[in-house]
Amino acid sequence: MRLEGKVAVITGGASGIGRETALVFAREGASVGIWDFDESGIEVAQHIEKNGGKSFFARVDVSKIQEVEKALEETEKELGNIDILINNAGITRDGFLTKMASEDWQKVIEVNLTGVFNCSQAVARKMMERQEGVIINSSSVVGVHGNVGQSNYSATKSGVIGLTKTWSKELGKKGIRVNAVAPGFIATPMTEKVPGKILDMMREKTPLGRLGQPEDIANAYLFLASDEGAFVNGAVLQVDGGLVL
């Protein structure tokens, strides 16, 4: 029970990596706040409750600060002070530079980058009052290495790394650790949109010979959120099976 007595908020917790993280954190003793625009997050919260855990779902668009602040207020009322924030929510709108629509560029920036800023700013203010907390941001290997057809996504995930390193310096002295996880290609609903031949190529390029599973990332989040990662701050943990793009 590595998170016993802790309250964790997981954005994008309705499906994929976020859903698995919510379940893993609940099994480790955390009360889990699930923030997602997708209302199937209600089912995740209900599953946790049925298995003896404590959970709360808030429908929120992380790109809108008013919705984030409302979700924060509701979550604290239901679960208590937030100890852990997992900025996991993200979207893709892929396209080559010369063909990418401006609205696709803007939407990915709003969710993947502004959303991380909004949630972190709101929660960090509360954490600073108590002089403790953990913030973990979801980056990506494409934020480190880039990827064809993902100008918007790569830019946001590189930006998340910059935010992580900056906040680790700003907030570390306040007792708040900030780290990032950079997943490789993970078998989630998001990657189901990727053509099969591309996924096959990624498997071939990955030394471990497979795509990652959501639990691979959830376990990385767990390590960084727990006391086992108490001296890890400002790190970007690549969880990609050895993939080099």
Residues taking part in catalysis? 153
Q: In this structure, are residues 21 and 44 in contact, taking their beta carbons and an 8 Å threshold? A: no
Q: In this structure, are residues 41 and 34 in contact, taking their beta carbons and an 8 Å threshold? A: yes
Q: In this structure, are residues 230 and 130 in contact, taking their beta carbons and an 8 Å threshold? A: no
If DSSP codes are grouped into helix, strand and coil, which group holds residue 123?
helix
Instruction: Estimate to the nearest angstrom the gap between the alpha carbon of 195 and the chain centroid.
Output: 24
Tell me the sheet residues that pair with 150: 95
Which residue from 164, 221, 230, 183 is spatially nearest to 11, judged by alpha carbons?
A: 221
Instruction: Estimate to the nearest angstrom the gap between the alpha carbon of 84 and the chain centroid.
Output: 11
Structure tokens at 223: 């390590």
